[in-house]
Structure 1
Amino acid sequence: MSRRSRMSLFGLLARQFRSDLGPLLALAVIVLVVATLAATAPLALRSMTSAEVAYQMDNLPAVRRDLLSRAAGNPTITPGTAPFVQFEGALKAATESAPNPLRKALGEANFVVSTDSLQVARLGVEWNDPITPITLNVAPALEDNITLTAGAMPAPFDQVLAPQDPTRFPINQFTRDPVDPSIDILLSTASADQAGWKVGEERLVRVSQDDGFYAKLSGTFDALDEADGFWAAARSALQPGISHTSFSGSNTRIVTSAAFIDPGSWATLIDETRLSATTSVGIPLFTDGLTVDEDEELLPQLRHYLSQPQQVAKVANSTTVSSLIFTSDADSTLETALSRASTAISVLVMVASGPIGVAIAALWLLSRLILLRRRDALTLASARGASGVQLRTAQALEILALSVPGAAIGAVIAYLLFPSAWSDVSVILAGVVALVPPVLTAIATSPRSLRSARGDIDPRVRGRYRWVLEVIVLAMTALAVFLLLQRGLASSNGSVTVDPLLASTPLLLALSAGLIVLRVYPIPLMGFARAAKKRKGIVGFLGANRSIRDPAAGLAPVLAMVVGLAVAVFSGVLLGTVYGGVDSAAHSSVGADLRIDSPILTQEQLDEIAAVPGVADSVAIYQNNKLLNLSVEANIAVPILVVDTAALERVQANVPGAAHFDGDMSGKVGERIPVLLSPDLAAQYTVGKDSTLGPEDIVDGGDPGTSPSLSGVQDWVLIDRANSAAFDIDKFLPRITLITLDDGADAGAVTADLAKIVGSDATIESPADASALLDGSPVSGGLQLALLALIIVVALLCAATVVLALMISGPARERLLALLRTLGLTRSQAQGITGWEIGPTALVAIVVGLVLGAVLPLIVLAGVDLRPFTGGVLQPAVILDPVLLSLIIGGFALLVVIATMVAIATARRVSLAKTLRTSEEG
């Protein structure tokens, strides 16, 4: 039986592979890990962006997310049992004409037609308490979205008003002629309960002073799904509007309900009553299932759709709706989601540039180690006629055969993890990773690498090419930093992009720092070596000189340690900055420990709020929307905020960006009333000596700060409640209440007590609620996980470079230590000398990496706009968390020490006889 020759090409390659099995397997593992990360990263970021858009849109109420339009007039009405079929067709055409992906995101349009509020009186009652006005509504899709809780659906009718009979009119609630018609209406369960209207009960609805009709409650209903987009167009259908009369000495409740009638009878109602109508249309918007590319494409399409009127009737008249202009907060929310994703991606790309550099350094050291182990064979091949190109090609092809499968496996893993977000970019990145090791191997296979060279040359003697490269790197770094600082914050404008300047700046800074370390660290070491020369002991003297002459493989491990620690510290600072910024922005936007947004509150309710256990102080804010002319450097129509400014300053004492008042706002300065302009107005205009607000002269009352908590509009002027009469504001009807809590108060218990006072229509929010909404988003979770993963990866790669660097310098060290061991050098001294090879550079690199990691946020965050991410008005301040940074620095240093100890421990296994027998020098 023949035996395969071990001297054949395949046999020689197999023997060579087995002899270098350890380094080759290490290279394959690094390629696999890096290729997997490189291929997975863009897919994960795309998936994260889509998830962020879906998250933000899902947390947006339908009344703000869906496309809504309100227009005066009726839809086009056609005779027959389906009076709105033409209008429904026009709405369908308006949605189907939208381009994709907007068309894909739009649902089926719903509409509600409503009359103005009509007065209602209970029969046989002199005084109604509560007062129960209604609006008459029709919604063809209502029955598909409700469940009856009592009674039945409204019956059709063909007559509304009774025939004119001068002997009976004006109509009133005390004389009910049985021949007078009655129409069926349907109310929500909550509206019927608040109005005290029983199923089957009739009430008089007044169309005018002399005319009206009777309405019978045929049934009540609840929504099948209150979050369904249908209810966005029917805003008051489920919950009645609650207000109170302003009569002197009276505080009667007013319960305004939306009453629904049979859709086929709407034409009869309008023809007989001539009531004015308003048509409300809602088009649901769903972004679930859209890819990140479609999300980006959706934004400009949505903005264009909202800016253009949609035709719904061919012939326009004074009572028919001919076109609709839709409004929605979805475009701004979509832009915010994309901006948050873009910010996170920018941050991750910046941080990832460091591990990329460390991975290249590790692959370079592996290439050098493999070639070092093959030096004798390659030298022999060169001596027998192999050219440099042949040697480089052979080594590169062998490494390529190893790296391609690893990169392919990485791409497959990426696809299996994120199949729905697949992009060809992943294949390209995996291919680039596969090509890097062969290229580095080809570069390392130089004629110089095949020669054994002494390492004890003067470190001050440098090649001119190194100076040129270092100057280029330093110049590029300075230029990048200059451009970044000059440009300022970069806005994503609702697009997910990678900024090359931001991506490259951290790596350039780290590379420059590594070069500076290599230039600077020999200076103190040479001084130490001269001092050690005069002392007893060989370890310090010889170790310092070897560290100067041969700093364990040069730039690669230094760069790895500088970049590794810089990335770790930068990531820790960034996490602290982001989440500190989120908390600060949430507190600023809420404006207090608790914030109540509610229907109008009475003074009795405000007093009850102040008396709730745990409430330390409270202040109510009333926005009078009757615009007054503000004369500053221009004339501007603005609403007025009325508030007890002394209470406001107490409540917002610890709120970031809160307003600050220069003095007592309740009095006058001379004959002028002190006012506070909104932050936007204050940034553009100054209150001068000739400034007025309405009929009154005004003076600047202080600094408005930056908190957006006082109003939902950008332009306003704030006055103290004591001065409201000067502007003819005689009612205080607040909808915003800010509350501070006692120390140790249970916020949950206080919120539950407040909810009983303000009712179910109100929302009560704390800064923790606002923070949780941002912290719980896919982008926030993804950023935290990615930064943690990058810290771990870069730390492991850094440890690998330390081990590889010591392995590369191993042969020369072994020869020296073997000779010294024969002269009496102990093993502990040998290990000490080995430690000197990496110790000084590691110490300096760690110090520089720590400084660089602390400085990087100050430089890089000058170009990254974190406001979309934190939800704040201002760029968050850099926050250094000492506990987090201590853990990161301590863990990183420990890992480097362990890696060094592992490499040093290999010195114990050195064979003195073998080393001396094969030694070529000393």
Structure 2
Amino acid sequence: MRAHASWVRVRLRAAPGPALALALLALVTSFLAAAFPRAVDAYEGEGLRHEMRSAPPHRGGIELSAPAAPPDGDGVLAEPLDAARLAAHHRRILAVLPAPLRADTAQSAHGVRTTEPVAATDDWLPRLEGGPTVFTLAAHADLARHARIRSGRLPTAADGAVTPTTPAVEAAVTTATARALGIRAGATVHVPKGLGGTLTVTVTGIVDPVRPDLSYWSYEPVLRTPARLFTPPPVVEPYWHGALLLPVGAAPVLPSVAPRAEAYWRVATDPDDLRAGDRDGLRKAVASLESGPLLAGLGTPDVPESYATSGLDDLLADHDRFTAAVGPVVAVAALGVGTVAGVVLVMAGGLAAAHRRAELSLLRARGASVRGLAGLLFAETAVPVLPAAALGCAAAFLLVPEGRPLPALAAAAAVALVACAALPLHAARLHRRPQPAGGREDPAPARSSRRRTVAELTLLVLAAAAVAALRRRGTGTGGTDALVAAAPVLVGLIAALLLVRLHPLPLRLAARPAARGRGAVGFLALARAGRAPALTALPLLALVVALATAAFGGSVLAGVDGARDAAALAAVGADARVDAEALPAAVTDAVRRAPGVEDVAAVHRAHDLDVGEGGAEGVTLLAVDPDSYARLARRTGLGAFAADRLRAGSGPLPALVSPGVAARLGTGQVDVGPPDGRFTVRVALVRDSTPGHAVRGDFLVVDASRLPGDRHRTPTTLLVTGASTSATALRSAARTADGGATVTLRSAERARLTDSPVQRGAEQVHILAAAAAAGYAVLAVLLSLLRAAPERTALLARLRTMGLTRRQGRGMLVRESLPPALLAAAGGALAGWAAIRLLAAGLDLGPLALGAAQGRHGPPESVPLRADAWSLLLPAAAVLVLTAGAAAVQAWAATRRSTTTDLRAGDAR
């Protein structure tokens, strides 16, 4: 050990530069390796918290309920409903929730309510066509903490004062309920009791909900806002449904009003401390509370039996499906970058072993064993690498605080192991047997060893078999598949092995015509490129996999961007859209004059158009102005057509229809439309999509000027063209529209498609992966050039003594470097294209591009992976430029030095 320590100390003092460079490489690589799994956990955890925060309360919370038995003949409840018992059971539920399920106690609620609305008998309440106003009566606890008094006072009920036979109680209503139903403080509402008699409810106060969008008020929205219910078919008519908020002390009266009254305990969940690794625990906790031992343990004499319902299990299942769909896309980038990083670490060890070949040969000549030599080199590299890897891992933990520690520690340890072992293994391979000085280093010598041939053929067969298996099985198996993630690496390995074997042939063939030329520079460059050791398997594998990863990542990002543009355009139909019940000509003119508006297409929309055979379900009528609508269709690319095709003389109206409507109508003339305004159409054009039809389904587009009556001529939608249009200007222009106008911008709709943290996180990982792959590709090029630098410098010095000018020498080195780089760039681009074609059949980018909005609009229903030309060509071109630049700098530096010194460079004697 002393000998090892002395060796390491002397070596690091003598050559600190290479040690610092290796430590820096290990630090960066360790940081990236440890940060990746933590970043995935971080965005998945943030996605889970976002889903739970943005979910409706009934989907993100838990409700336990117990039926309240109706009173017996003497008016006595079988199970008490007093406030103390309800609150005690509520506290018990919150206390037994298992981790990681945590309750938001401020928004959790309990009480007693009627499960079926009861009709009020008062004539002063508004009455719609469907019948009298109905009410849900709820004794909702903690009303004073969640409401502000607008007028009057809060209702009260003394402990034990209210029984099932009580004839009158107090209640409050929200401001929205009071406004819609005309209720004022002091008003009385009468509802019948189930066992006879009437309950008089005096409204003592009007209240404003505090934070009405959260669970306390929104778990049952009617408590906050009245709604319109509808009578069942065949005659569907509306009637009002409101809520009367009783004090919790008045709960015993509710079973006498509605036999199916129930006590409830609503648990609002708190997702702030949830992490991605908590999903399994959360799923088990919800299952136990819904129908497991936890629910059974909540039984008490006061509440002997309860039922639990929750949408959390569906929410978790949707989240798992979403992350599973995004996972393979991220895994491809991660494994590609990891492979390139590992290759670069191995190349760094190989470069160090090559530069220290004479030193290590001398140690072997003095009696050092291969094992001892490897041990010395391992200790030497471990001293700078291990602290650097630990520092990189610590930086990843610091910058990405969320995530599981074990995967990150394992990744950083793997980086440290590869970085420490690369130099010893290279040295052991080189010095296992004595080698003569000055031997050839061609990558493809005339007679390759049998071991190398067998090894290369084995790797080639295994990679080809894996690719064939992936192609046969497909990628749509769900989850992150290691074979799917390794597709670019496998294709890159095949390309690298083939290029290593085949690249000397085209270069040597190209050198033959150059030999007949007048100058020697071109021939020398091509001849050396065909024999140069710079294009070996490791640099080729690094470059090809890096280019394939960059091409894959660029194609993914381009596909995601295009899908979001298409989805936003399908949802809006133009750059902006104005919708209202009716948009008179004055509103249309005002919108045309709004700042930034270039063109406006007025459309009348009517749903469920009767088209005869096949029924009316799902067919939308679009009555348009042919000229403006045709201009819009041509500009957006949504079913472009000639305006004259919708304008015809007398006879049936020519119609532009979807394929489904075309199949229903056939080739003849068909009467369509509502009973009071039917018209005859014929199919003139068939298109898969059209502007203004955002939802999936069928459509029929006709000239509005030829429709009977004025109702179908009044626009309900304005499709606005103009990239600089503002929502404020459009709202101001449409403020006089009937029923109020809704303005939707295409840019806002597109921004809404990226609201998921999982989407944003996966895209950021892809961008960082592409940047890291580019960085490691640069290192691979530089390391391969550095390895050949001493021999090139010596050769250039010898040629200069023979009369080669500096300019010719620089040109020879640049020309020598370009052909191998060109082959590597072409191989990388082809490998990227092949990997994309391989994965395109089963890899859907829809979840990453559209998130929860996938399938909500028209096209695209799915987003297949397609090769992006710029993503394929730009990285390849960058490799050529980088190689040429690095070679030019190397040649400039070599020609600036004295030839006397350079003549001894690389001399083995």
The 5-angstrom pairing of residues 630-669 of structure 1 reads: 641=617, 643-644=619-620, 660-663=658-661
Corresponding position of 1:118? 119
Q: What letter matches 1:101 in structure 2?
A: P
Given that 1:774 and 1:780 are in contact with CA atoms closer than 8 Å, whether structure 2 keeps it comes out as no
Task: Indicate the larger mover: 60-69 or 657-666.
Answer: 657-666
**Are positions 1:290 and 2:306 aligned together?**
no
Corresponding position of 1:234? 220
* Correspondent of 1:525 among 468, 484, 507: 507
Corresponding position of 2:307? 324
C-alpha distance after superposition, 1:707-753 (max 9, x if no partner): 9x9999xxxx9999xxxxxxxxxxxxxxxx99562333755665788
* Correspondent of 1:369 among 346, 351, 363: 351
Given that 2:229 and 2:239 are in contact with CA atoms closer than 8 Å, whether structure 1 keeps it comes out as yes
* Correspondent of 2:25 among 24, 30, 50: 30
| In 2, Cα distance between equivalents of 1:124 and 1:586 | 44
Given that 2:93 and 2:298 are in contact with CA atoms closer than 8 Å, whether structure 1 keeps it comes out as no
| In 1, Cα distance between equivalents of 2:637 and 2:122 | 48
Note closer, same or farther for the CA distance 1:27–1:840 as it changes in structure 2 (3 Å cut). same
Task: Indicate the larger mover: 196-205 or 70-79.
Answer: 70-79
Fraction of identical pairs, as percent? 25
Q: What letter matches 1:792 in structure 2?
A: A
Note closer, same or farther for the CA distance 1:703–1:508 as it changes in structure 2 (3 Å cut). same
* Correspondent of 1:469 among 432, 455, 476: 455
Task: Indicate the larger mover: 829-838 or 518-527.
Answer: 829-838
| In 2, Cα distance between equivalents of 1:124 and 1:231 | 24
**Are positions 1:512 and 2:498 aligned together?**
no
**Are positions 1:453 and 2:438 aligned together?**
yes
C-alpha distance after superposition, 1:292-342 (max 9, x if no partner): 11124323553565567957997999xx995425142x3333333344444
1:75 shift after superposition: 9.1
Given that 1:162 and 1:213 are in contact with CA atoms closer than 8 Å, whether structure 2 keeps it comes out as no
| In 2, Cα distance between equivalents of 1:912 and 1:596 | 77
C-alpha distance after superposition, 1:192-248 (max 9, x if no partner): 12222222234555669996455433111111111221123332122122479999x
* Correspondent of 1:908 among 891, 895, 908: 895
Corresponding position of 2:777? 798
Given that 1:50 and 1:292 are in contact with CA atoms closer than 8 Å, whether structure 2 keeps it comes out as yes
Note closer, same or farther for the CA distance 1:79–1:434 as it changes in structure 2 (3 Å cut). same
C-alpha distance after superposition, 1:475-523 (max 9, x if no partner): 222222223233334455xxxx753212322212112111222223222
Q: What letter matches 2:456 in structure 1?
A: E
1:436 shift after superposition: 0.9
Note closer, same or farther for the CA distance 1:845–1:314 as it changes in structure 2 (3 Å cut). closer
Given that 1:190 and 1:238 are in contact with CA atoms closer than 8 Å, whether structure 2 keeps it comes out as yes
| In 1, Cα distance between equivalents of 2:6 and 2:280 | 56
1:24 shift after superposition: 2.4
The 5-angstrom pairing of residues 344-383 of structure 1 reads: 344-383=326-365
C-alpha distance after superposition, 1:526-569 (max 9, x if no partner): 11111122212111111111111124151222222222222222
Q: What letter matches 1:797 in structure 2?
A: Y
The 5-angstrom pairing of residues 656-805 of structure 1 reads: 660-663=658-661, 741-744=719-722, 771-805=750-784
* Correspondent of 2:399 among 392, 395, 417: 417
Corresponding position of 2:146? 145
1:581 shift after superposition: 3.1
SS at match of 1:421: coil
Note closer, same or farther for the CA distance 1:153–1:80 as it changes in structure 2 (3 Å cut). farther
Q: What letter matches 1:819 in structure 2?
A: R
| In 2, Cα distance between equivalents of 1:65 and 1:758 | 37
Given that 2:337 and 2:546 are in contact with CA atoms closer than 8 Å, whether structure 1 keeps it comes out as yes
| In 1, Cα distance between equivalents of 2:219 and 2:69 | 15
Q: TM-score with structure 1 length normalisation?
A: 0.76
1:47 shift after superposition: 1.5
The 5-angstrom pairing of residues 383-394 of structure 1 reads: 383-394=365-376
Given that 2:49 and 2:271 are in contact with CA atoms closer than 8 Å, whether structure 1 keeps it comes out as yes
Given that 1:57 and 1:287 are in contact with CA atoms closer than 8 Å, whether structure 2 keeps it comes out as yes
Q: TM-score with structure 2 length normalisation?
A: 0.77
Corresponding position of 2:647? none
Note closer, same or farther for the CA distance 1:368–1:659 as it changes in structure 2 (3 Å cut). farther
Given that 1:112 and 1:233 are in contact with CA atoms closer than 8 Å, whether structure 2 keeps it comes out as no
Given that 1:355 and 1:790 are in contact with CA atoms closer than 8 Å, whether structure 2 keeps it comes out as yes
Corresponding position of 1:699? none
| In 2, Cα distance between equivalents of 1:125 and 1:489 | 59
C-alpha distance after superposition, 1:137-168 (max 9, x if no partner): 221233332111111012439689999xxxxx
1:455 shift after superposition: 2.8
The 5-angstrom pairing of residues 534-573 of structure 1 reads: 534-552=516-534, 554-573=536-555
The 5-angstrom pairing of residues 98-113 of structure 1 reads: 99-102=98-101, 108-113=108-113
Q: What letter matches 2:800 in structure 1?
A: R
Given that 1:566 and 1:850 are in contact with CA atoms closer than 8 Å, whether structure 2 keeps it comes out as yes
Given that 1:564 and 1:794 are in contact with CA atoms closer than 8 Å, whether structure 2 keeps it comes out as yes
C-alpha distance after superposition, 1:84-143 (max 9, x if no partner): 544555566566666543466898453450352323535699999997543332212333
Given that 1:75 and 1:87 are in contact with CA atoms closer than 8 Å, whether structure 2 keeps it comes out as no
SS at match of 2:221: coil
Task: Indicate the larger mover: 110-119 or 840-849.
Answer: 110-119
* Correspondent of 1:196 among 176, 179, 182: 182
Q: What letter matches 2:721 in structure 1?
A: D
SS at match of 2:903: helix
Gapped regions of structure 2 (runs ≥ 5): 592-599, 640-655, 674-685, 701-714, 856-860
| In 1, Cα distance between equivalents of 2:717 and 2:138 | 38
1:435 shift after superposition: 1.4
Given that 1:131 and 1:252 are in contact with CA atoms closer than 8 Å, whether structure 2 keeps it comes out as no
Corresponding position of 1:302? 286
SS at match of 2:151: strand
C-alpha distance after superposition, 1:804-830 (max 9, x if no partner): 222222232233222211111112222
Given that 1:573 and 1:854 are in contact with CA atoms closer than 8 Å, whether structure 2 keeps it comes out as no
Corresponding position of 1:170? none
Given that 2:487 and 2:835 are in contact with CA atoms closer than 8 Å, whether structure 1 keeps it comes out as no
Q: What letter matches 1:23 in structure 2?
A: P
Corresponding position of 1:335? 317
Task: Indicate the larger mover: 205-214 or 819-828.
Answer: 205-214
**Are positions 1:265 and 2:250 aligned together?**
yes
Given that 1:552 and 1:808 are in contact with CA atoms closer than 8 Å, whether structure 2 keeps it comes out as yes
Given that 1:616 and 1:741 are in contact with CA atoms closer than 8 Å, whether structure 2 keeps it comes out as yes
